[in-house]
Amino acid sequence: MTIQLFWLLLNLEIEATKTAAVIDNGDGNTGAGDIIVYTITVENTGGITLSNISLSDVLTDGDGGNLSLTSGPSLTNATTGSSAATLQATGVLTYTATYTISNAAANTPSINNRVTVTASSPGNNNNVTDISDNGNDGDGNTEDDQTVVTIDPVPVLEVTKTASVTDNGDGYTGPGDVINYVITVENKGNVTLSSLTVTDSLTDGNGDSLVMSNGPYFSGSDQGSGLGVIISRRNSQLTKLIILFLLPLVALKSPT
């Protein structure tokens, strides 16, 4: 009897498991606006009742930036005799938490989550602890691996072209004026885009083809993008291509 009691005293263990399910917002992709529902189970695998159960949750995006849960963790179920304050031997507590994926987080590869559970044995304080496992031992990591929700890659490109006219001094838009075109290419998706090319079509009002005086040529970019490559991070990336076009005499009739 003494040996058995001594073994039980030594066997102070809890096991935390955290799984995730995604509620899609209707677009068919795991990304911004989707709700991740986390289910946390805390099992007392030892032989002694534990108290002062506490959960410390860490949520980050795929770049390591800190995030905050939208709700929870909240206790949703407890086996007989257990409660938020007390976890009986072999007892299980179940908690639920949610996170709604933000636009910024959706521009990173994943949402990563783990929880550290702490409890106290009789006469002690916070002496029993465990870091959550994702419940999937088939991934090659059998313990304490974080729960990862992978963001789906969604490539989206937006092109804007504006025009301004440099007058030749006659006060009219017509022969000899220069049309300055600015093309802005914006990566609005969550993946880096490469092999960027620009094919320009220019015609007059009669549908006849015209030829650019020069360009398009690359003039600059922001946030680490470069010629032919538009990276994706938390904020949209812009690559600007500027075209200068000298309006030929055949494009417009002289003003009367």
Distance CA(127)–CA(12), nearest Å, equals: 9
Pull the structure tokens for residue 81. Answer: 């005799």
* 16 and 44 housed in the same domain: yes
* 63 and 145 housed in the same domain: yes
Please state the rounded mean pLDDT for residues 137-162: 81
**Per residue in 150-174, pLDDT tens?**
999 988 888 888 889 988 889 988 8
* 82 and 126 housed in the same domain: yes
* 16 and 100 housed in the same domain: yes
β-strand partners of 43: 15, 92
Among 166, 164, 134, 161, CA closest to 147: 134
* 136 and 162 housed in the same domain: no
Is the Cβ–Cβ distance between 234 and 189 less than 8 Å? no
Hey, is 6 helix, strand or coil?
A: helix
Is the Cβ–Cβ distance between 196 and 231 less than 8 Å? no
Of 150, 168, 195, which residue sits at a domain end?
Answer: 150
| Total domains in the fold of the chain | 2
Residue 73 lies in domain = 2-150
**Per residue in 13-51, pLDDT tens?**
999 999 999 999 999 999 999 999 999 999 999 889 999
Tokens 């559970």 belong to residue? 117
The domain spanning residue 137 has which CATH number? 2.60.40
Question: Is 142's pLDDT higher than 50?
Answer: yes
Of 126, 150, 174, which residue sits at a domain end?
Answer: 150
Please state the rounded mean pLDDT for residues 70-89: 94
213 occurs within a structural domain: yes
* 231 and 209 housed in the same domain: yes
Of 128, 150, 172, which residue sits at a domain end?
Answer: 150
Question: Is 242's pLDDT higher than 60?
Answer: no
Higher pLDDT, 251 or 231: 231
* 163 and 84 housed in the same domain: no
